[in-house]
Amino acid sequence: MVTGPIFDDLSSLTLMGTAGEIPVAVPDALFKILVKENSGSDVPDILAFIFPQPRTDYVKCSVSHAYDNGRFLTSIAEIENRTGLEFFRNVKFKNVPTRTAFKAATASELWTVESNFFGVGCGLR
């Protein structure tokens, strides 16, 4: 798993902190890349996400509906484009088109997870 911030416009950073503290930049979004071995292929399975960070008060979680992380699925290429980083540089692929397709692909659905791994949303009981 790889995760980190995305800053879209460095000239208009939002900083948080009070007098006497070192100000911290608030990212425009956060990215997360999950990789797991695919037993049927030399190309691993991947889930890549970009989670936007609202520039307003933090949004409170609502448990009135199921939260859907699938709406944040993206490609490694999009994350690289927005961050300027390069991922999986040392991963060996059989050919360049395979590497390009791997980075350009966006998963169509989330991986299945057993229900015992789910907690109550937003820390509510």
Q: Is pLDDT above 70 for 4?
A: yes
Q: What is the pLDDT of residues 35-77, one digit of tens each?
A: 988 887 777 889 999 999 876 555 555 555 566 789 999 999 9
pLDDT of residue 104: 93
Distance from C-alpha of 76 to C-alpha of 104, rounded to nearest angstrom: 6
Averaged pLDDT for residues 17-38: 90
Top pLDDT among 55 and 17 is at: 17
pLDDT of residue 119: 63
Q: 2-111 domain in CATH 3.40.50.300?
A: no
Closest CA to 122 of 52, 33, 59: 59
The most confident of 16-20, 55-59, 116-120, by mean pLDDT: 16-20
Distance from C-alpha of 13 to C-alpha of 70, rounded to nearest angstrom: 28
pLDDT of residue 38: 80
Closest CA to 49 of 66, 34, 38, 35: 34
Residue pair 22/8 in contact by the 8 Å Cβ criterion: no
Token pair 């229900």: residue = 115
pLDDT of residue 63: 55
The most confident of 1-15, 83-97, 108-122, by mean pLDDT: 1-15
Instruction: For residue 42, count CB atoms less than 10 angstroms from its CB and return exposed for 0-12, middle for 13-18, buried for 19 or more.
Output: exposed
Distance from C-alpha of 91 to C-alpha of 60, rounded to nearest angstrom: 39
